Structure 1
């Protein structure tokens, strides 16, 4: 069971959808994650440390970050939802019921089964006809369809094919990343973040894959107005490329970081000096890397780079993503490598 009812709300802890009278009630992804964890563990007191590790996946979170999310949940209703247990933690205390799935009548189930069989048969016949002209395996074929749909901005269609492809080939990082991207474009930030974190949490991940996932996380947080966190992920992703020859990607991430730095300068001038130190640290790392590699791309490479970099850099919906950490942590962080090299 994943459907719960409390106060005037219904909440699905798998899709993180909160509704009132079947109308969606918007909450931030982190708020949804914390809400799900509290409800599913409502029979016990949960310590701050457990919440940090379960929701933020790290202990290095300042208390006020947790207080803010808990406050957002408490504001949902006038009744007491969360009780603070001094020196122990928090507990979900609202009366909550698990909702059982509705049982369909037999004749409806039979009709649905027949419809499914007919549709499936037609689909398989079409696929058999298509297979005469296709030599790829299902995972790759579905992946190709997902990429084409994503390129056409048909994000729901892309999600369908990429989920199928990932089911066939669960180890495909590229499929997982593009699925996260399609969810991000549909504003399903919670699900998008979960896939991105799966990539980041893989300690054997390549530096480029780590950078892609960090960039997506940066855009997720920027979408929520959490510019400091967006900057942190953007820099982490850029630093991961220091040992690679991905010159075009480095240039794109550099421009994204500059955009975020400019936003922070406008938002909070009191941290301007600290942000410049962060910027200089990143710049020096990139400069040292370029000198060490001495890579001289040819003209064709540069032309292709300009085409893809322009799309990536200037798409307002794809500038940067997020992490949930306190603002000043960005300025104090030295941004050494946060990934493991093989």
Structure 2
């Protein structure tokens, strides 16, 4: 029975039971899957693409999902120092960890494990119903979880319905907004997508991860409408937000460069991708970022990089399906 002990935590890999000071700790199953992968590969740095491929089986997973999960594993009672971020390379589990024998849990802990396992198994067996779902009494987070599963299975109509219900119940749900937009984009509903994104980007306390994700999605929407100038502006905004949040800009940089090349071909005028991080005529949905903060990752130090930590936009955790001991993707 594989168990890992680090700091004051014990993690039973077989049952996906995490305890802190001998008490069960509620953590999203997908975060636990990421935790297993980081601990199992703690002797080296793992890249984002490797995590997407080996953990979730999808090389095109969403960056904001990974950022949220990493930030969850850095929030108390965890420590920010448990996971080291290497700019433009990936992550490494650096806290001292040892493999121990499986502890004899108390009856209460065993009961929690059984209930969690059954609930996760039920979510795994979920299949989108052809009949209209009964959402009258469905909690917002349950709808969000079902929407994620439906989106992963290709039932976009059902996913959109669940995400809209989740937003109706909880208008502040950033994840519901982002997933809803992705569902709408799969159906080529650019105008509706842009309305949700504009509303999201106007939120005064929107976190850096979410601002980057929303700006990147808006860039895709603008490009699908042939509005390359606007697409580039939003891509540049996503670029600046991601630098502040996680110092990982390869994907956004590629998008900025691609749009720049497209604009150059259309206008026959050279367009410089890095003349400014945000175009001067971009909509003012956030404040200008000081020049001193634009390149916090210029040097790679042997010690953990001291970048600013951005917590998730919400503390609410919702549970979506993974079988006990399984590596089945939760959502893509």
TM-score between both structures, scaled by the size of structure 2: 0.43
TM-score between both structures, scaled by the size of structure 1: 0.42
Report which structure shows greater RCO (CA 8 Å, sep ≥6): 2
Specify the structure having the higher radius of gyration (Cα).
Answer: 1
Q: Relative to total residues, which structure has the larger helix share, 1 or 2?
A: 1
